[in-house]
Amino acid sequence: MSTPYLQFDGIGKVFPGVRALTDVSFGVAAGSVHGLLGENGAGKSTMMKILGGEYQPDEGGLRLDGQPRQFRSSRDAIDAGIAVIHQELQYVPELSVMENLLLGRLPTRFGLVDRRRALAWTRERLQALGVDLDPQAKLRQLSIGQRQMVEICKAVLRDVRVLALDEPTSSLSHRETETLFRLVRDLRTQGKALIYISHRLDEIFELCDAATIFRDGRKVADYPSLQGVSRDDLVGRMVGREISDIFGYRPRPLGEPRLEVRELRGTQVPEPLSFHVRAGEIVGFFGLVGAKRSESMRLIYGADRRHGGEIHLDGAPLRGDDIRASIRAGLMFCPEDRKEDGIIGCRSVAENINISCRRHHLHAGLFVDDRQEAKVADSFIERLRIKTPDRHREIRLLSGGNQQKAILSRWLAEENLRVLIVDEPTRGIDVGAKNEIYQVLYELAERGAAIVLVSSELPEVLGVADRVLVMCGGRITGEFARGEADEQRVLARALPEGATRAAAISA
């Protein structure tokens, strides 16, 4: 590999109560894609925030094209030709795609924003990139994957010299992922230096020329080339132990139907939805973008208003049609977008874990039992190996994977958990943490809970679920027992033409 255009030299970073990075050094060559791997909390995102000027290192420094550089702010990094796309996206939801792409540099005419020129520029650039987005759509109206594409396009359109992508495909559709890969290859051909962070090892092998592995804030391996390197090699260095089967499926006896959804409809789910999940069963929902999986789960949980249909738990109708009624009945939900819908970022890890079950820790219905809440929080921090200095840490300061573990802990702390819906539970999570979360799901199922797993990763659905339901256009278009499901058959029902044929056959 040629002389690095970007070089990190002995980077160290300390936060109150925790050392995030220790003496980390590696380089990224111009015209290359450098993979950065490691478990959640290994220090990857901290390193990217140092690169982007959000944090300053306590030790060491970095060089660009051989020259020492120090970024005191994000503006300093941007001015130096650096763009970082974080896993937790940075956008303005009330502004349009066009306004987000041109934020801080909207064209003006006579002192006013020239919207016609801005709109024409945005349409031209998006078309050139092969990205299908409405420039005038508000970000809040878009899916998470579409918002992620806006962030990626924003960086590409700045004509950067260094681009860092943190879990860029975690919410993208197959088509969007192909567009991203093409953009990455084009930037490499143009001589840019790229850092690519992903827990999807297939992407690392497909895109990256070299790789560096972090563990517990330290660099543990450097691979100048990935030729001859195996998946097991990378996983072993990342987690410090061998994981031969990431899914670790455990069969179990199934009981009577615990959750029954009958003819459920809503604004986002106009087609009647019906299915059941038995006690001890894990049912996986798979579908492509627009399949209405997440919208269906929000409807079941009561996060969105129902227009018709019924939900039964253990044969009895669910009384009430809101979130509070669902929680009290033992129906829990881990949402897809943890930042917007899952965590309260400015509150502590302990508060985020206890926020639902707090009603069980009240004295005289008024006063919180702080000692009991501390006990609950500490037990789940240990059980799910949540990487945090202590329970008082603001949850926004944790890695995405550890935030996800805290959300899962919230529902595990509930005494009457009967049904758990998990929507993209391992999005942006490393292989070791994925394995831990799967084991928790198996444990809950073995205790009789009904589990609904929604995932855009087909291998995950096939690897974990006892039964697979396929959605397309808001309808269930296929159902497969574990032994019958394979990628080809499931994808055939997930595609619109396959779903149409399935509907015709059933009719």
The tokens for 166 are 């943190």
Look up tokens 């707090």; give the residue: 358
Give the per-residue pLDDT at 213: 94
The tokens for 460 are 């995950």
Most confident of 39-48, 424-433, 481-490: 481-490
The residue with greater pLDDT, 392 or 366, is 392
Give the per-residue pLDDT at 505: 45
Answer whether 272's CB lies under 8 Å from 307's CB.
no
Q: Are strands 257-266 and 331-334 parallel, antiparallel or unpaired?
A: unpaired
Domain extents in the chain = 4-239, 257-506
Average pLDDT over residues 367-380: 86
Give the per-residue pLDDT at 368: 77
Average pLDDT over residues 146-167: 85
Q: What angle do CA 503, 422, 312 make, to 5 degrees?
A: 65
The tokens for 107 are 């064209």
Answer whether 381's CB lies under 8 Å from 391's CB.
yes
The residue with greater pLDDT, 5 or 370, is 5
Distance CA 407, CA 360 (A): 18
Give the per-residue pLDDT at 335: 87
Answer whether 228's CB lies under 8 Å from 197's CB.
no
Q: Which pLDDT tens digit goes with each residue over 335-350? A: 887 777 778 888 999 9
- What is the phi-psi region of residue 82: left when phi exceeds 0, alpha when psi lies from -120 to 50, beta otherwise? beta
The tokens for 31 are 């015209």
Instruction: For helices 496-506 and 487-494, give the axis angle rounded to 10 degrees.
Output: 80
Instruction: For helices 144-156 and 174-189, give the axis angle rounded to 10 degrees.
Output: 10
pTM above 0.85, yes or no: no
For the chain, the average pLDDT equals 87
DSSP characters over 423-477: ESTTTT--HHHHHHHHHHHHHHHHTT-EEEEE-S-HHHHHHH-SEEEEEETTEEE
DSSP characters over 317-352: EPP-SSHHHHHHHTEEEE-S-IIIII--TTSBHHHH
The tokens for 173 are 């559709």
Q: List the CATH code of the domain at 257-506.
A: 3.40.50.300
Question: For 102-208, where are the E strands, in sequence order?
Answer: 108-109, 112-113, 162-166, 193-197
pLDDT band, residue 504 (cuts 50/70/90): very low
Q: Are strands 273-278 and 257-266 parallel, antiparallel or unpaired?
A: antiparallel
Distance CA 276, CA 280 (A): 12
Best CA proximity match to 171, nearest among 297, 54, 98, 85: 85
| Domain pair 4-239 / 257-506, same fold | yes
Best CA proximity match to 140, nearest among 296, 344, 404, 341: 341
Q: Which pLDDT tens digit goes with each residue over 189-233? A: 999 999 999 888 889 999 999 999 998 889 999 999 999 998 888
Give the per-residue pLDDT at 10: 95
pLDDT band, residue 364 (cuts 50/70/90): low
Q: Which pLDDT tens digit goes with each residue over 68-116? A: 999 999 889 989 999 998 876 677 888 899 998 888 788 888 888 888 9
Q: What angle do CA 93, 96, 99 make, to 5 degrees?
A: 105
CATH class of 4-239: alpha beta
- Give SS3 for 380: helix
Q: How far are the Cα atoms of 75, 154, 164, 212, 453 from residue 84, in angstroms, in the given order? A: 12, 10, 5, 18, 31
Give the per-residue pLDDT at 30: 94
The helix (run of H) or strand (run of E) holding residue 116 is helix 115-129
The helix (run of H) or strand (run of E) holding residue 210 is strand 210-215
Give the per-residue pLDDT at 284: 96
Best CA proximity match to 37, nearest among 214, 244, 170: 214
